C-alpha cells in the first residue's frame, strides 16, 4: 500500500524567541515524509534548485523516504523566512522566494502512479488536479491548501474538492474557504462540496475529524516546551496518512487512530527546530506517546448520571 506525497521542499530560516535557524530543511513534503516514514515508506514528488543540500535528503532516505521523484531544476530552491511572536501564537513571513518552485509541474514517476494513499500538499490547486490525473487508482486522497489559493484559485480549488476524500486544513483556512467563522458549520459546508471527511487542525488545541454524521476530537499532546511550530500540520498529515497506509485501511476506527498518530507527530515537530524533533524518535517512542493520549481523554461515562 504505497504512500505518495507531492509538496514543497524548501529551505527555511526561522526566528523564534528561543533561537533561529538558517536554510534548514523544510517544506510540506519534507515534514510529511520525515514524520510519516517512522511508520511507512514514503514516496516524494517535488522540486529543488541546484543549490539544495541534497546530501541531507539522501541521509534521510535510510528512513524509508524515496526521493527519486524529486526533480532538480536549474535555479534557486524555494526559501521561506519567518518570525514567530513571543508566545508562538502568530508568525510573520519575512520573505518568500519561490525560485524553481514557481515553475513546478509535478511529474509522477511511473513506479509511483499506483500509490494507494496520496497526499496533495499545499501547492497550486491546478497542480493538485494534475497529480490526480497521473495517479491510477488511489484508495484515499487527502489534500491541503492555504489562504493564498483560496483567494487566487477558488474555482480550481472547489473543483478539486469534488475529487478528494479528505480536506485537511487549519481552522483559519476552513473559515476562509467556507466564509463561516463557526468551525463546525465550516466543516459541514466543506462536506457539502465534495470530501466525505474534513480534518481541521487547531494547533495547540488539537484537531477535529468531521464526518457527515459524527465528529471526533483529538487534543494536542500536552507539551511544556514548544520551540518551533513550523511544519506541525504537515507532520500531522504525514502521521495520519502513514498510519492508514501501514494498516492498509480507511475504516472509521483507523481514521480516528490516524488522528491520534497525526497529533503525536505534530507534537514531535514542535519540540525542536525544523525536522530535528524527529532525529531520535523511534517507533517505540511513537507507540508510547500514542498511548499517553488514552489517559489524556479517557473518561467513563456509562454510569455518569444514575
Residues found near a second copy in the complex (CB under 8 A): 39, 86-89, 181-185, 188, 202, 204-206, 208, 214-219, 222-226, 243, 253, 256-257, 259-261, 283, 286-287, 290-291, 293-301, 304-305
C-alpha 32: how far from its chain's center?
A: 5
Task: State the nearest-atom distance from the C-beta of 78 to a second copy, in Å.
Answer: 31
Task: State the nearest-atom distance from the C-beta of 67 to a second copy, in Å.
Answer: 25
Residues whose CB is less than 8 angstroms from the CB of residue 125 and which lie 6 or more positions away in sequence, other chains included: 145, 149, 153, 156, 157, 159, 160
Task: State the nearest-atom distance from the C-beta of 223 to a second copy, in Å.
Answer: 7
Q: Which is closer to a second copy, CB of 163 or CB of 247?
A: 247
In this structure, what C-alpha cell is assigned to residue 235?
A: 507532520
Task: State the nearest-atom distance from the C-beta of 292 to a second copy, in Å.
Answer: 10
Which H/E stretch holds residue 227? none
Task: State the nearest-atom distance from the C-beta of 154 to a second copy, in Å.
Answer: 21
Q: Which is closer to a second copy, CB of 155 or CB of 298?
A: 298
**Residue in 205, 196, 194, 141 with CA at minimum distance from that of residue 170:** 205
How does strand 197-201 pair with strand 166-170?
A: parallel
Q: Which is closer to a second copy, CB of 62 or CB of 305?
A: 305
Q: Which is closer to a second copy, CB of 9 or CB of 261?
A: 261
CA 70 → CA 5, 29, 50, 205, distances in Å? Answer: 11, 10, 12, 34
* CA dist., res. 224 & res. 284, Å (int): 21
Q: Which is closer to a second copy, CB of 165 or CB of 180?
A: 180
Amino acid at each position: 500500500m504505497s504512500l505518495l506525497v507531492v509538496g514543497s521542499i524548501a529551505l527555511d530560516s526561522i526566528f523564534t524567541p528561543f533561537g533561529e535557524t538558517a536554510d534548514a530543511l523544510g517544506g510540506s513534503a519534507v515534514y510529511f515524509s520525515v514524520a510519516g516514514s517512522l511508520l511507512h515508506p514514503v514516496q516524494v514528488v517535488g522540486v529543488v534548485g541546484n543549490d539544495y543540500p541534497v546530501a541531507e535528503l539522501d541521509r534521510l532516505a535510510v528512513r524509508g523516504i524515496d526521493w527519486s521523484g524529486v526533480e532538480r531544476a536549474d535555479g534557486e530552491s524555494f526559501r521561506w523566512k519567518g518570525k514567530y511572536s513571543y508566545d508562538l501564537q502568530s508568525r510573520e513571513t519575512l520573505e518568500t522566494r519561490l525560485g524553481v518552485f514557481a515553475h513546478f509541474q509535478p511529474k509522477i514517476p511511473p513506479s509511483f502512479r499506483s500509490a494507494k494513499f496520496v497526499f496533495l500538499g499545499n501547492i497550486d490547486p491546478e497542480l493538485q488536479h494534475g497529480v490526480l490525473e497521473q495517479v491510477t487508482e488511489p484508495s484515499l486522497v487527502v489534500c491541503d491548501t492555504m489562504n493564498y489559493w483560496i483567494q487566487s484559485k477558488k474555482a480550481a480549488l472547489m473543483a478539486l474538492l469534488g475529487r478528494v476524500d479528505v480536506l485537511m486544513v487549519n481552522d483559519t483556512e476552513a473559515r476562509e474557504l467556507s466564509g463561516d467563522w463557526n468551525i463546525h458549520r465550516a466543516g459541514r459546508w466543506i462536506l457539502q462540496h465534495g470530501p466525505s471527511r474534513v480534518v481541521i487542525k487547531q494547533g495547540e488545541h488539537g484537531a477535529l475529524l468531521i464526518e457527515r454524521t459524527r465528529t471526533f476530537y483529538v487534543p494536542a499532546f500536552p507539551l511544556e516546551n514548544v520551540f518551533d511550530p513550523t511544519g506541525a500540520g504537515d507532520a500531522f498529515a504525514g502521521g495520519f496518512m502513514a498510519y492508514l497506509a501501514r494498516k492498509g485501511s480507511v475504516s472509521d476506527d483507523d481514521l480516528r487512530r490516524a488522528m491520534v498518530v497525526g497529533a503525536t507527530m505534530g507534537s514531535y515537530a514542535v519540540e525542536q527546530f525544523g525536522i530535528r524533533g524527529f532525529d531520535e524518535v523511534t517507533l517505540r517512542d511513537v507507540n508510547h506517546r500514542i498511548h499517553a493520549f488514552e489517559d489524556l481523554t479517557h473518561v467513563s461515562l456509562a454510569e455518569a448520571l444514575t
